[in-house]
Amino acid sequence: QSALTQPRSVSGSPGQSVTISCTGTTSDVGGYNFVSWYQQHPGKAPRLMIYDVTKRPSGVPDRFSGSKSGNTASLTISGLQAEDEADYYCCSYAGSYTFVVFGGGTKLTVL
């Protein structure tokens, strides 16, 4: 069982928006503004999409955005495109003992 809870799957049609949630505790998501999101296509390495809850690395489309409320972080993808179909993982700093925890991953299907 992963430390952070994500829905197993979400889906949307091209052009629509989808939101993936990531629920943790006050020891991780709720305690720090250090949530990151990763996209992983089959057979590929993960790619950083969002870090520090809302920041987007250069090269990541602005269709991807992050937010947080309490112990739940969210990744929103607007204007869905076929290439967005992938697995998405949230990740949070969890203090100086555990350091980093990941969510179990969410499979995004673009219908």
Partner 1 sequence: EEQLVQSGAEVKKPGESLKISCKGSGYSFSSYWIGWVRQMSGKGLEWMGMVYPGDSDTRYSPSFQGQVTISADKSVSTAYLQWSSLEASDTAMYYCARRIVGRTWGFDIWGQGTMVTVSS
State yes or no: residue 8 binds partner 1 (CB under 8 A).
no
**Which string of x and - marks every residue 22-41 that binds partner 1 (by CB under 8 A)?**
----------x-x-x-x-x-
The reply on whether position 93 binds partner 1 by CB under 8 A is yes
Residues in the chain: 111
Site string for partner 1, 44-73 (x = CB under 8 A): -xxxx-xxx--x-x----------------
> Nearest distance from residue 43's CB to partner 1, in Å?
9
Rounded distance between C-alpha atoms, residue 22 and residue 68, angstroms? 9
Amino acid 9 reads S
Using left for φ > 0, alpha for ψ between -120 and 50, and beta otherwise, residue 104 falls in: alpha
Structural contact between residues 107 and 9, judged by C-beta atoms closer than 8 angstroms: yes
Lookup: tokens for 49: 């999409």
Interface with partner 1 by CB under 8 A: which residues?
Answer: 2, 32, 34, 36, 38, 40, 45-48, 50-52, 55, 57, 89, 91-93, 97-105
